[in-house]
Each structure stands twice: as C-alpha cells, then as structure tokens.
Amino acid sequence: MRALVTGGIGFIGTNLSHRLLSDGNEVILFDNLSRAGVQHNLDWLKATHGKELQFVQGDIRDFDAVLTAIQNVDAVFHLAAQVAVTTSVSNPREDFSINAQGTLNVLEAARRQEPMPVVLYTSTNKVYGGLEHLGVVECSSRYEFENLPEGVSEACPLDFHSPYGCSKGAADQYVRDYHRIYGLPSIVFRMSCIYGPHQFGNEDQGWVAHFCITGIRGGQLTIYGDGKQVRDLLYVDELVELMLRAYKNIDRIAGEVFNVGGGCTNTITIWTEFRDVLRPLVGELPAMNFAEFRPGDQKIYVSDIRKAETLLGWAPSVKIAEGVAARCAIPSARLVVSRLTSSLSLYPNS
C-alpha cells in the first residue's frame, strides 16, 4: 500500500504511520507541524524508520499542496484537524477552514485521481451533540443511559453542537456524500476517546494523556463538570488495527459510518473512577479543582461498536487499567514530558 496520512505526526497519525511503515508500506506523512509537541513524534519516527519515512510539511487548507501529496496513493487516512471545542468557540472561522474546507480539499484532490484512493475520515462523537434527547440517570459515582445498554449507535440523530461539532459534522457528511455522488471509496469513523503513546493531551483535548502527563510532572487539573461524566476509552493500537481492516475490506464497506470506541465494556468516569486508575501509576494525584460544565459536554457517551464487530470482526481487548499503565510507564514518555516541560509552555492552564 502507498498511503497518505494527513496529520501524520499527530497522536493517531504517529501510531498509524509507525504500524504502516513497520508492515512495509510506503507512507507519506503530511503535517503542518502546528501542534506543540509533534516535532518529538517526527524525530521518533525518523529515528525508528530512517529513510523509509517520507515527510511533507504542508497544510490541508492548501489545495495545491494536498493535490501534489495525494498523487498515486492507494489510501488517504485523513486525520488532520482542529481538535478542540474551546478553540472552535474562540475562533470558529479557523476551525471551519481546517475541518470543513480542509476536508473538502482532501476529497476534491482524491476525486481527481484515477483510480480514486480509499479515504478514511476520523470524525467525532460530537456530531451527536449533547444527547439531551436520551434518558440519563445520575448515580452515585457516574451517569448512565436509561435505555442504551450497548451505547450510542450510528442511527442516533445528528445534532451538531459547537462550531467544532458543526465543522467536523459537515466534513463527516461530505465524506459520506462523495461516496454516493462520485463513487469515492470512503469510510467515516465517529470516534470516542482514543488514548495511548505519542499523545500530548492538554486541558482542551486528549484528557487521558493530559491527566497522565500532569500526574507525572506535577501540576493542577481542572475538572469541568462534576467528574462523573462517562466515556468509553479505546487504546490507539486497536484503532489502528480497525483502520487497516476497514481499508482491506473497502469493497464491502465503502460509504459506511462506524461509531468507534472502547464500547460498553471499556467505560470510565473522567475523575470519580479514573483517579483510582491514575493514583498507583503516578504516586500522588495532582492538585485539582472543579469548574462549570463546558458547552456541549456530554454527561455520558458510550459507543455502540457492534457494527464494526459484525462487519469487520473487530473488538477491543485492551482494558483501561492496562492501557493507561502502558501510557504512563513508557520511559520515553517520561523523558518527553520532561523535555516539554522545560522547553515549551505546553500546558499553561493545567
């Protein structure tokens, strides 16, 4: 396979690119280096794969750059995005230009190729909005759905909430429609919380990594809401495996949308339960305080992953405690945290 990975040195992009290169595939990493910390990922990939690595510094908002990078590829894993709800609220025009216009550039560039490459787009559970129409019960330590034991399925009505939800949701629908209108072999993953190595989370995005990093280096956490919000977590290696299965089965699943996460067997609250996983890994929990719920925050989100299980024979196996322990225990992760703390103002609000 010859693959283009947009956002190729971000968190998911680094893990995906590593797997693709390790399997002997030709990979073009396309990234604008805008996110703090990703230079460490690029350095690691270069050290690991040497001359096999092809890196293009470019921006998905630059159509000509995308068109040049996409030549003669078999697959596009479109991961590049503006990823924070808070950033989208403060700068909705930039959020739109990256997530919506940038994705349209990728789709148009792919449509011009012969044959057209497979395009896999990483969307978000935020396209479902706050899920106010679903019954939610507040229990002593967590929230629960009243009548969704398997979680939220792909049939849930879309309800774009926040500029981020709108921009990602618009892109999500464009990717689907390019299959229907132009026959582009595309797939959409509406993802829940993904975590693992090479993730530089902060207060606005990547909360598992943010909590782990703050626990390792010290500092203070702000918990938005009451800490009882529930999420399903998926270790990044298992997401990468699902991506590759989707590519290999494109003839059967082109045009499909999948809710992707840890599912109902891998749920945890963001603080009332997660703190018990974090404490033995970092020693002393970081100082913390509570703040108001943020706009569009879901009190509970759990992915119904049965469609991926049925169509692709995939199911997650890494349990939360195991995955978080791996994230915290990697010596290189602690070294990078040390370097970031000394060289970057990466977590000014933590």
Per-residue pLDDT tens over the stretch 198-232: 998 888 889 999 999 899 888 899 999 999 999 99
Residue 211 inside a domain? The answer is yes
Give domain status of residue 232, yes or no: yes
Euclidean distance between CA atoms 63 and 77, whole angstroms: 16
CA 335 → CA 206, 276, 329, 338, 341, distances in Å? 19, 24, 11, 5, 10
Residue 333 has pLDDT above 80, yes or no: no
pLDDT category of residue 297 using cuts at 50, 70 and 90: confident
Which residue has 């890494």 as its token pair? 318
* Residue written as token pair 């403060």: 90
Residue 186: the pLDDT is 98
Phi, psi of 120 (to 5 degrees): -110, 120
* Backbone dihedral region for residue 203 (phi beyond 0: left; psi -120 to 50: alpha; all else: beta): alpha
Question: Within a domain: residue 172?
Answer: yes
Give the number of domains in the chain. 1
Range of the domain at 110: 2-343
Please tell me whether residue 313 adopts helix, strand or coil conformation.
coil
Residue 51 belongs to a domain: yes
Q: What is the CATH number of the domain that holds 171?
A: 3.40.50.720
**This prediction's pTM:** 0.93
Tokens representing 92 are: 């909705």
Quick one: DSSP state of residue 205?
B
Cα–Cα distance, 298 to 305 (Å, whole number): 18
Residues 172 and 120 sit within 8 Å (Cβ to Cβ): no
pLDDT for the residue numbered 87 = 92
Give me the mean pLDDT over the 150-179 stretch: 97
pLDDT in tens, 9-54: 999 999 999 999 999 999 999 999 998 889 999 999 999 999 889 9
Q: Is residue 137 a part of any domain in this protein?
A: yes
Query: Is 349 within the bounds of a domain?
Result: no
Query: Is 178 assigned a catalytic role?
Result: no
At residue 201, the pLDDT reads: 84
| 238 occurs within a structural domain | yes
Q: Give the C-alpha separation, 342 to 298, whole Å.
A: 34
Candidate from 3-7, 37-41, 78-82 with smallest mean pLDDT: 37-41
Q: Residue 329 — very low, low, confident or very high, per pLDDT cuts 50/70/90?
A: low
d(CA 273, CA 129): 24
Please pick, among 121, 143, 164, 235, the residue that the annotation labels catalytic. Answer: 164
Residue 350, domain member (yes or no) = no
